[in-house]
Amino acid sequence: MSDIFALLSMGMLLTTFILVANKRTMSYIRTFRIQALLLAAVLMAEGVTLTAENHVFSGVMLLAVLTVIVKAWYIPRNLSKISRRAEQHVEKEFFVNVPMALLISTGILVLVGLVLSRVEGLKDSADILYMTCSLGVMLMGMFFMVNRKRAVGQMTGFLVMENGLFLAAFLMTHGMPMMVEIGLLLDLVTSVVVMGSLAYRIHDTFESLNMDRLRRLRG
């Protein structure tokens, strides 16, 4: 069972790497979708295990379905709607270029691995692997968000970060209370709706989703 989790969390890490290396908006929204499906697969695997062990229907399976609906269908659909508005579908400006971004992400991951291998309470090597993967996804998502200049990229980065956080919480606790999880998903939907409308406003004002145009708002 732990091998399936290891494989899936490694897969999420891999998709994050693909995201960091990706320049095309539509392509990285698709990659985000695959990542969400992998996350749902983690939830589903846990749900099936719990149901089989306790012979009681586990809410985690329901959560997996909800994740598919929200993260693999609703949010990517919204993102691609926003990005279809903007004419440019290839991001050309980054703060650091792609090979450098990949190197930095690897650096982040190595750092996470090193730090986690020194944490006192974390003895099980499987746990270290899960934590490295999920914290890696989180921090690389953050880096992705910082590295992009356009609104859609930054939103995707934020969502990837949230995926990593969700994975970390889930793999460590094997399921938080149902209400908390559903609340998290609701928060996410709200934030995407708010960010989406903001992105529309930005696009209407500046005819572009490039955040560099927001000169007066920056501190």
Partner 1 sequence: MDILLQLLQVALFMAAAPLITGVIRKGKALVQHRRGASILQPYYDLIKLMHKEKTVPVHTGWIYRTAPLIYLGSALVAAALAPGVRGNHQFLFDDVLVFIYALAIGRFFLGLATIDATSTFTGMGSSRDFFIGMMAEPVLVFVLMASCLLSGKGTSFQAAMNGTEGIAVLPSALLFLSAWVMITLAETARIPVDDPSTHLELTMVHEAMTLEYSGRHMAAVSMAAWVKQMTFLSVAASLFMPFGSSAANGMPAAVLVMAGKFVVLTLLVFIIEINTVKLRIFSIPNLITFAFLLTLLGYLAGMIRI
Q: Which residues bind partner 1 (CB under 8 A)?
A: 3, 6-7, 10-11, 13-14, 17, 21, 98-99, 102-103, 105-106, 109-110, 113, 117, 125, 128-129, 132
Q: How far apart are CA 130 and CA 177, in angstroms?
A: 20
Cβ proximity to partner 1, 28 vs 158, nearer residue: 28
Q: Whole-angstrom Cα distance, residue 123 to residue 175?
A: 21
How far apart are CB 58 and partner 1 at their closest, in Å? 25
Q: Whose Cβ is closer to partner 1: residue 59's or residue 136's?
A: 136
Q: How far is the CB of 146 from partner 1 (least distance, A)?
A: 19
Compute the distance between CA of residue 199 and CA of residue 216 in angstroms, rounded to an integer: 16
Smallest distance from partner 1 to CB 114, Å: 9
Q: Where are the alpha helices (DSSP H) in 68-124?
A: 75-85, 98-117
The minimum distance between CB 169 and partner 1, in angstroms, equals: 20
Please say which residue, 27 or 208, places its beta carbon nearer to partner 1: 27
Within 8 A by CB and 6+ apart from 159, the residues are 32, 71, 75, 141, 188, 192
